[in-house]
Amino acid sequence: MMQGCYSSFIEALREEAARAVSDLMYINNKKIPNLLQVTWLGLNAYLFIDTFLWYNKAESYYYTRVILGSTLAWARASAMCLNFNCMLIILPVCRNFVSLLRGTSMCCRGALRRLLDKNIMFHRLVGYMITLHAAIHIIAHFFNIERYRISQSVEAGELCNILANIGNQSNENFLNPIRSYNKNIVKEMFVSIPGITGFAITLALVLIVTSSTELLRRSFYEVFWYTHNLFIIFFFGLVIHGAGQVVRGQTSQSMLLHNPSYCKDHYYEWGEAAQCPVPQFSGSKPATWKWVVFPLVLYTFERIIRFWRSQQEVVITKVVTHSSGVLEIQMKKIAFVMEPGQYIFLQCPSVSRLEWHPFTLTSAPEEPFFSVHVRAVGDWTQGLLAACGVNQNLSLEPWQLPRLAVDGPYGSAATNVFHYHVSVCIAAGIGVTPFASVLKSVWYKYCSPSNTMGLKKIYFYWLCRDTHSFEWFADLLISLEEQMSVRGKTDFLSYHLFLTGWDENQAAHIAFHYDTDLDVITGLRHKTNFGRPNWNKEFRYIADRHSGTSIGVFFCGPKSLSKVLNSMCRLHSSSDPRGVHFHYNKESF
């Protein structure tokens, strides 16, 4: 009797602990991304407001405010936020650093790992914030320069005139960097260190931001790649931008002898009365380097690692030409270790010595090679296909193939497929590549005698515009279908193929062969669907079959569909922590 009560008590504790863990995971999954985003925005707001108030009230900058007014505080507050965000913007693109964080136990799964998958998104957000504060900083300094010039005119007032003329004597330090009212302001701006570096920084930032827009990045990737290397000029100019010390305040030694609270009303006695000597001014020493030194050192090591990897020999073992302009390249490299769903960066020196392009690995770790599928969508990819003899339909010998350099592999969202009991993989067009690796590896693990995989069910959706796009991937699906049928595991993988575009002849041919056992397009037992899926219906079906489960949703494809799927995940996730929850993961490079 006592033993039965004890067992019931232990079981109740286990259920309560499981419920608490489920509640905690729900809170983390929902709150951590928003919390970190709010924290970042809050730090920006705090730094801006705190710096703004300090420069707006500090006694040492009282006379500077007499000339410049509130634009002094606007310029300095935006500069502080620029330092903070310029420190952050490099970290998300340190791929090896992000991979190191992925390998730690703290970030190995859950919401924290999904945050690492959004490193490029955070990089863009920080870039937008830098652009905003750079605009504020530039506009504020335009006003400052004009007010420095006006302070020398009679209309500015006697106190401003006196402040503007301080520095004419040999024993005085100037406050106004513009020493003459009649000087050309534009020329004065561009012959100074702040002016030259400010122009270089602004030009580099404008080129980087404009080339990063979706349209230019997709259509002219090479332009995007080359202009992003202007970050070297950006950071070099940023570090030395403050060396000119244009914004000046009263020195601490001068403050002991010259109190602005009293002397501001006795400016006509400056230098004559003992209690009001002529104030002395100096600029603040450059401090930006203190903010960016660690990220720059980290990125330097990052580049050294990438260069070392790029020098390692890569052997192309096989090149396969598929339909729809898709080229499969199989390679080998010493000590290359990968996980399903990871990606690499490829460089082909015969096409470009500077450009590196990301490609998802389509092979499984269990295979004796690693492979990528390349579609000709730009100048670089077309050049790679030409170098491999695709355009001339040539069958090149291994020694005739171009040299390739490989950097990676790096983790991506698709590697998290194995962290869920149920995963939904959705691909559009060539976006199927990460799931090729995943499905291959899943099957190898599933068939292994020592299978300890926690993944129990996969829903796979693939959307294509034309029938040719199905050809290169259909062979893998046919193989998986046959092997699962033999083993009696047909319920493990549920796949749904959708053809979103077709002509009348194709439609007639498909309708004529509709009653055959195998699909006329793919050769699979599952028939191809036509049109676009009803995502509301699909998500409702999955939610009903797996109540009380955390389901991972993984997508690779266009942004428009990504927004729809993300909203579906939120719509069909239960408000109850013990209900079904969809966790959205999107591939991003």
Question: Tens digits of per-residue pLDDT, 313-355?
Answer: 998 888 888 766 778 889 999 888 888 888 899 999 888 888 8
Asked if residue 393 and residue 460 are part of one domain, the reply reads no
The CATH code of the domain that includes 578 is 3.40.50.80
Q: Is a pLDDT exceeding 80 seen at residue 359?
A: yes
Q: Is a pLDDT exceeding 60 seen at residue 14?
A: no
Residue 374 inside a domain? The answer is yes
Residue pair 555/547 in contact (Cβ under 8 Å)? The answer is no
Q: Is a pLDDT exceeding 90 seen at residue 530?
A: no
Residue 405 inside a domain? The answer is yes
What local confidence, expressed as pLDDT, does residue 74 receive? 94
Give the predicted TM-score (pTM) of the model: 0.77
Q: What integer is the mean pLDDT of 440-448?
A: 75
Q: Is a pLDDT exceeding 50 seen at residue 23?
A: no
Nearest to 86 by CA among 179, 205, 168, 177: 205
Residue 299 inside a domain? The answer is no
- Read off the pLDDT band of 46 (50, 70, 90): very high
* Residue with the larger pLDDT of the pair 267 and 560: 560
What local confidence, expressed as pLDDT, does residue 254 receive? 84
Q: What integer is the mean pLDDT of 199-217?
A: 89
Q: What are phi and psi of 557, to 5 degrees?
A: 165, -160
Owning domain of residue 384: 313-410
Asked if residue 245 and residue 346 are part of one domain, the reply reads no
What local confidence, expressed as pLDDT, does residue 25 receive? 40
CA 302 to chain centre: 16
Q: Is a pLDDT exceeding 90 seen at residue 549?
A: no
- Read off the pLDDT band of 414 (50, 70, 90): confident
Residue 579 inside a domain? The answer is yes
Least confident of 27-41, 277-291, 389-403: 27-41
Q: How far apart are CA 104 and CA 261, in angstroms?
A: 56
Q: How far apart are CA 505 and CA 337, in angstroms?
A: 47
Q: What integer is the mean pLDDT of 427-435?
A: 80
Q: Using the structure block, give the residue that is written with the tokens 């909203």.
A: 567
- Identify the H or E element spanning 557: none
Q: What integer is the mean pLDDT of 28-43?
A: 72
Asked if residue 165 and residue 53 are part of one domain, the reply reads yes
Question: CA-CA distances (angstroms) from residue 376 to 34, 221, 324, 329, 381?
Answer: 38, 13, 9, 13, 5
The CATH code of the domain that includes 348 is 2.40.30.10
Measured over the CA atoms of residue 480, residue 486, residue 492 and residue 494, the dihedral's sign is positive
Total number of domains constituting the chain? 3
Pairing of strands 422-428, 457-464: parallel
Show which of 259, 293, 327 is a domain's final residue.
293
Residue 485 inside a domain? The answer is no
Q: How far apart are CA 456 and CA 421, in angstroms?
A: 5
Q: How far apart are CA 492 and CA 534, in angstroms?
A: 22
Asked if residue 257 and residue 171 are part of one domain, the reply reads yes
Asked if residue 268 and residue 123 are part of one domain, the reply reads yes
What local confidence, expressed as pLDDT, does residue 400 receive? 79
Residue 444 inside a domain? The answer is no
Show which of 250, 265, 293 is a domain's final residue.
293
Least confident of 79-93, 156-170, 408-422, 501-515: 501-515
DSSP, collapsed to helix, strand or coil, labels residue 576 as coil
Q: How far apart are CA 477 and CA 461, in angstroms?
A: 12
Q: What is the mean pLDDT of the chain?
A: 79
Asked if residue 346 and residue 199 are part of one domain, the reply reads no
Q: Is a pLDDT exceeding 70 seen at residue 361?
A: yes
Question: CA-CA distances (angstroms) from residue 522 to 73, 179, 451, 516, 575?
Answer: 66, 79, 30, 12, 40
Asked if residue 279 and residue 344 are part of one domain, the reply reads no
Residue 476 inside a domain? The answer is no
Q: Is a pLDDT exceeding 90 seen at residue 570?
A: no
Asked if residue 235 and residue 112 are part of one domain, the reply reads yes
Residue 472 inside a domain? The answer is no
DSSP secondary structure string for all residues of 319-354 = EEEETTTEEEEEEEETT----TT-EEEEE-TTT-SS
Asked if residue 239 and residue 170 are part of one domain, the reply reads yes
Show which of 263, 293, 323 is a domain's final residue.
293
Asked if residue 66 and residue 37 are part of one domain, the reply reads yes
CA torsion 258→263→266→269, rounded to 10°?
0
Q: What integer is the mean pLDDT of 255-275?
A: 79
Asked if residue 430 and residue 324 are part of one domain, the reply reads no
Asked if residue 462 and residue 388 are part of one domain, the reply reads no
Q: What integer is the mean pLDDT of 158-183?
A: 75
Percent of the chain with pLDDT over 90: 17
Laid out side by side, the sheet with 326-333 consists of 314-322, 326-333, 370-375
